[in-house]
């Protein structure tokens, strides 16, 4: 059980987070995903301003203050701005009646419980004020407070200054994307090692031995004639410039005689090296530097855990000098930028192991499927820029109830296709065919899928209402292409019924979607019982085309009459027939063949599958195409067939012969992308 954790952070007027407070709930591991400039790094920096381990990291800067979009520096000049970063700390361990009395550090006993059964919590708020003050960058003042929650919103807020020593009970280690790795890793690893070595309970024998050895080194060093010449020249020139009593003498030495100074010079070296000697950290690649940084903070965390847990090696360290933090936050920015994919799984395993101690939390930003495959959907926080205000909005992933079969399906779908999180538009399809065909069709009409940040997710047509709800909650535009499956089990009117019910499930009013022509120039609404029987309507007696066209209004399209494979075969017959080497296509019987009826029945059964119809709704040309369909798509892999056929098609041919429904689909995709609902991926 977690001893203490950051339950949520609330940002107001911090960088791209605007005046409307954004509250982000955090878990043990929290993955921040979104397009470029959506606020991921800003969120990490906000936590760094509160819990950074150095004064520089904690310093609020002028550019941390939010500036509204389209602000004119001269016409809209202001004299002051403010920001707030509020952190809610919770103490789950205190819910355990057997928790130790010292489970929470004294400084965190500002906690309260505002309602029965609530986890004890306390609130820390950093407030920043920027004033113009007549200087170019202005003047920034900042204060960090303990804030007592108010039961009555109208009551006066109670807050008091938080001591720096209290704030130091939480450490944040920030691993930035590799921008200046040598400087960053040298600084951080040096300070971490200095802190660890300073806390070691050094024996008097070691101190004496080091002091004696350093004295011998200095004596030998100074006895060299060349060193003496340098010393004399330096002393002469120094005295010529500075002859006062204090600091009037100068001497050179290779090492310090003070034990504490020697500890600060300790550094890590690496072997074996190409030259056979130990190499410093500078020689590592950017990725290796980042791995070493994680190893260093992990080692410090392990030592702190040993000391806090009174482990076997606890006596090796002075607990007061080490002063282990109560909570360590690891903020890792886009590790895929400089670390090979096969290392990412190991990194996640190490980070999760540390969070398992109850003393650590992890926040990471990523664009990598290699990382996102290892992230649970519940751990994802999706960030995007609001198209109007250009401020960051944060959403959690909404899954169906855990008791629902759809929960597992949608959960696995977003893990299998993490590209959904970064898409400006999502196309929900049935299977592999859509993944291969749609990009080529879209490209022929001037819509490159990858460059447009369009993601195609094959879901087999299952649980689409939950996926619609998920994408809507993330404000990601989406369209859906389903197989019509006429005369297949559950197909035809059954597919229309399914789509209608799914749309009703996400909130489309029944009175709107079930309105039908009453035959007298007006409309009537289908009843629930009529909708329940829709799948029994005869496809040959009631024309479904008007329903198919109507559902396009909701972004739902159908590959009719059967599926996308059959649709492409109908419109690009020569290209698909040409995928068969040496003219070895299917044997298509003539009508006067003795086995004609049996052959047609067999191919209809194969194409329409078990419990399918007899193919009466298909014309002679379509039933003849069934022989090719069986040969191309049922006897061998669909992806292979599509790839071969599409590779032979010119874009002009695709545009000319393209199925009308796919033209409509691409037109809708362009419209959704142009609306900018999902935010521009290249926003600066």
Q: Do 57 and 129 share a domain, yes or no?
A: yes
Could you tell me if 216 and 208 are in contact, meaning their C-beta atoms sit under 8 angstroms apart? no
Q: Do 360 and 499 share a domain, yes or no?
A: no
Q: What is the pLDDT of residues 537-549, one digit of tens each?
A: 988 777 899 999 9
Residue 677 has pLDDT above 60, yes or no: no
Which of the residue ranges 205-214, 259-268, 278-287, 453-462 has the most confident prediction, judged by mean pLDDT? 205-214
Q: Is 338 part of a structural domain of the chain?
A: no
Distance CA 426, CA 467 (A): 10
pLDDT of residue 156: 81
Q: What is the pLDDT of residues 117-137, one digit of tens each?
A: 788 889 999 999 999 988 888
Burial 549-584 (b: 16+ CB within 10 A, else e): eebeebbbbbbbbbbbbbbbbbbbeebbbebbeeee
Q: Name the residue with higher pLDDT: 653 or 344.
A: 653
Q: What is the pLDDT of residues 40-69, one digit of tens each?
A: 999 999 999 999 999 999 999 999 999 998
H-state helical runs in 401-492: 405-416, 432-444, 464-473
Q: Do 622 and 487 share a domain, yes or no?
A: yes
Domain that holds residue 529: 405-684
pLDDT of residue 182: 62
If you average pLDDT over residues 320-324, what whole number do you get?
Answer: 90
pLDDT of residue 258: 83
pLDDT of residue 636: 86
Q: Is 398 part of a structural domain of the chain?
A: no
Q: Do 46 and 172 share a domain, yes or no?
A: yes
Which backbone phi and psi does 281 adopt, to 5 degrees?
-65, -25
Q: Do 364 and 427 share a domain, yes or no?
A: no
Distance CA 682, CA 684 (A): 6
If you average pLDDT over residues 357-381, what whole number do you get?
Answer: 88
Residue 519 CA from chain centroid, whole number: 52
pLDDT of residue 642: 97
Q: Do 521 and 652 share a domain, yes or no?
A: yes
Minimum mean pLDDT range among 79-83, 88-92, 99-103, 196-200: 99-103
Q: Name the residue with higher pLDDT: 329 or 313.
A: 329
Q: Do 365 and 484 share a domain, yes or no?
A: no
Q: Do 480 and 369 share a domain, yes or no?
A: no
pLDDT of residue 113: 74
Could you tell me if 510 and 500 are in contact, meaning their C-beta atoms sit under 8 angstroms apart? no
pLDDT of residue 406: 83
Q: Is 483 part of a structural domain of the chain?
A: yes
pLDDT of residue 562: 96
Residue 93 has pLDDT above 90, yes or no: no
Q: Name the residue with higher pLDDT: 265 or 580.
A: 580
The CA distances from residue 667 to 443, 503, 554, in Å, are 12, 21, 14
- What does the DSSP assignment read for 468-509? HHHHHHTT--EEEEEE--TTSTT-THHHHHHHHHHHHHTT--
- What does the DSSP assignment read for 73-85? TTTT--SEEEEEE
- DSSP code at position 378: G
If you average pLDDT over residues 233-241, what whole number do you get?
Answer: 91
If you average pLDDT over residues 294-311, what whole number do you get?
Answer: 86
Residue 155 has pLDDT above 90, yes or no: no
pLDDT of residue 598: 94
Q: Is 429 part of a structural domain of the chain?
A: yes
pLDDT of residue 438: 98
Q: Is 386 part of a structural domain of the chain?
A: no
Residue 311 has pLDDT above 80, yes or no: no
Distance CA 158, CA 148 (A): 5
pLDDT of residue 440: 98
Distance CA 316, CA 306 (A): 10
pLDDT band at 684 (very low <50, low <70, confident <90, very high): very low
Q: What is the pLDDT of residues 18-34, one digit of tens each?
A: 999 999 999 999 999 98
Q: Do 519 and 370 share a domain, yes or no?
A: no
Residue 316 has pLDDT above 80, yes or no: yes
Distance CA 430, CA 480 (A): 9
The CA distances from residue 295 to 289, 314, 501, 560, in Å, are 10, 20, 53, 57
Q: Name the residue with higher pLDDT: 506 or 337.
A: 506
Distance CA 379, CA 388 (A): 28
Q: Do 363 and 447 share a domain, yes or no?
A: no
pLDDT band at 203 (very low <50, low <70, confident <90, very high): very high
Q: Is 240 part of a structural domain of the chain?
A: no
pLDDT band at 37 (very low <50, low <70, confident <90, very high): confident
If you average pLDDT over residues 280-304, what whole number do you get?
Answer: 86
The token duo for 423 is 């898409």
> How high does pLDDT run on average in the chain?
88
pLDDT of residue 682: 33
Q: Is 467 part of a structural domain of the chain?
A: yes
364 membership: H or E segment, kind and range:
strand 360-365
Could you tell me if 13 and 66 are in contact, meaning their C-beta atoms sit under 8 angstroms apart? yes
If you average pLDDT over residues 365-383, what whole number do you get?
Answer: 86
Q: Name the residue with higher pLDDT: 191 or 616.
A: 616
Distance CA 197, CA 322 (A): 9
Residue 678 has pLDDT above 50, yes or no: no
The CA distances from residue 354 to 4, 300, 477, in Å, are 14, 11, 37
Distance CA 246, CA 561 (A): 97
Q: Is 621 part of a structural domain of the chain?
A: yes
Residue 179 has pLDDT above 70, yes or no: no
Domains: count for the chain: 2
Q: Do 562 and 415 share a domain, yes or no?
A: yes
pLDDT band at 181 (very low <50, low <70, confident <90, very high): low
Predicted structure pTM score: 0.85
Q: What is the pLDDT of residues 444-463, one digit of tens each?
A: 999 999 999 999 998 877 78
Beta carbons within 10 angstroms of residue 67's beta carbon? 15
pLDDT band at 680 (very low <50, low <70, confident <90, very high): very low
Could you tell me if 436 and 642 are in contact, meaning their C-beta atoms sit under 8 angstroms apart? yes
Residue 108 has pLDDT above 70, yes or no: no
Could you tell me if 374 and 345 are in contact, meaning their C-beta atoms sit under 8 angstroms apart? yes
Q: Name the residue with higher pLDDT: 181 or 250.
A: 250
Minimum mean pLDDT range among 43-57, 154-168, 660-674: 154-168
pLDDT of residue 511: 93
Q: Do 367 and 454 share a domain, yes or no?
A: no
Distance CA 548, CA 541 (A): 16
If you average pLDDT over residues 512-529, what whole number do you get?
Answer: 88
pLDDT of residue 683: 31
Q: Who's near 327: CB < 8 A, 6+ residues apart?
A: 3, 4, 5, 6, 89, 169, 170, 171, 359, 360, 361
pLDDT of residue 30: 97
């Amino acid at each position: 059980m977690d001893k203490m954790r950051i339950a949520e952070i609330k940002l107001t007027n911090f960088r791209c987070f605007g005046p409307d407070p954004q509250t982000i709930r955090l878990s043990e591991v929290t993955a921040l995903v979104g397009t470029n400039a959506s606020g991921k790094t800003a969120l990490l920096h906000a936590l760094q301003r509160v819990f950074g381990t150095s004064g520089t990291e904690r310093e609020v800067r002028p550019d941390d203050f939010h500036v509204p979009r389209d602000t004119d520096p001269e016409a809209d000049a202001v004299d002051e701005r403010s920001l707030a970063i509020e952190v809610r700390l919770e103490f789950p361990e205190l819910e355990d009646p057997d928790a130790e009395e010292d489970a929470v550090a004294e400084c965190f006993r500002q906690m309260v419980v505002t309602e029965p059964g609530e986890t004890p919590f306390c609130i820390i708020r950093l407030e920043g004020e920027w004033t113009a003050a007549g200087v170019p960058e202005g003047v920034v003042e900042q204060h960090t407070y303990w804030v007592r929650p108010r039961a009555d919103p109208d009551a006066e807020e109670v807050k008091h200054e938080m001591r720096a020593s209290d704030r130091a009970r939480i450490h944040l280690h920030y691993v930035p994307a590799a921008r200046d790795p040598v400087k960053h890793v040298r600084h951080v690893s040096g300070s971490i090692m200095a802190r660890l070595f300073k806390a070691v309970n050094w024996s008097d024998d070691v101190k004496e031995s080091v002091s004696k050895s350093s004295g011998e080194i200095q004596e030998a060093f100074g006895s060299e004639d060349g060193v003496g010449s340098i010393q004399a020249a330096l002393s002469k020139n120094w005295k010529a410039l500075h002859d006062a009593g204090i600091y009037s003498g100068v001497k050179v030495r290779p090492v310090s005689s003070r034990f504490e100074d020697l500890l600060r010079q300790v550094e890590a070296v690496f072997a074996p090296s190409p030259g056979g000697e130990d190499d410093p950290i500078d020689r590592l690649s950017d990725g290796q530097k980042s791995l070493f940084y994680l190893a260093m903070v992990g080692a410090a965390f392990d030592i702190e855990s040993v000391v806090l847990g009174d482990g076997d090696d606890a006596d090796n360290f002075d607990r007061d000098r080490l002063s282990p933090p109560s909570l360590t936050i690891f903020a890792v920015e886009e590790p895929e930028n400089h670390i090979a994919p096969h290392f990412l799984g190991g990194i996640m395993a190490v980070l999760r192991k540390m969070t398992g101690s109850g003393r650590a939390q992890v926040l990471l930003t990523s664009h990598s499927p290699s990382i996102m495959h290892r992230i649970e959907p519940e751990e994802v926080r999706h960030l995007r820029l609001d198209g109007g205000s250009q401020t960051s909005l944060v959403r959690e992933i909404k899954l169906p109830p855990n008791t629902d079969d759809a929960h597992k399906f949608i959960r696995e779908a977003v893990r299998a296709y993490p590209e959904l999180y970064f898409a400006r538009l999502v196309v929900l399809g049935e299977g592999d065919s859509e993944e291969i065909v749609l990009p080529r069709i879209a490209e022929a009409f001037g819509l490159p899928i990858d460059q447009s940040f369009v993601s195609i997710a094959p879901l087999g047509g299952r649980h689409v209402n939950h996926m619609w709800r998920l994408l809507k909650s993330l404000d990601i535009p989406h369209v859906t292409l389903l197989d019509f499956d006429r005369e297949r089990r559950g197909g035809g009117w059954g597919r229309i019924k399914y789509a209608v019910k799914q749309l009703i499930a996400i909130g489309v009013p029944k009175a709107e979607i079930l309105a039908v022509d009453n035959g007298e120039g007006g409309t009537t609404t289908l009843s629930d019982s009529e909708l329940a029987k829709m799948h029994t309507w005869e496809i040959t007696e009631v024309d479904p085309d008007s329903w198919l066209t109507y559902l396009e209004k909701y972004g739902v399209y159908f590959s009719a009459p059967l599926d996308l494979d059959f649709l492409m075969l109908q419109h690009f017959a020569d290209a698909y027939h040409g995928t068969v080497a040496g003219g070895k296509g299917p044997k298509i019987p003539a009508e006067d063949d003795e086995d004609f009826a049996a052959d047609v029945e067999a191919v209809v059964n194969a194409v329409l599958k078990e419990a399918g119809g007899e193919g009466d709704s298909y014309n002679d040309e379509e039933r003849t195409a069934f022989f090719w369909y069986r040969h191309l798509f049922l006897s061998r892999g669909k992806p292979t067939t599509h790839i071969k056929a599409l590779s032979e098609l010119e874009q002009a041919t695709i545009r000319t012969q393209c199925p009308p429904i796919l033209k409509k689909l691409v037109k809708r995709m362009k419209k959704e992308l142009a609306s900018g609902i999902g935010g521009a991926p290249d926003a600066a």
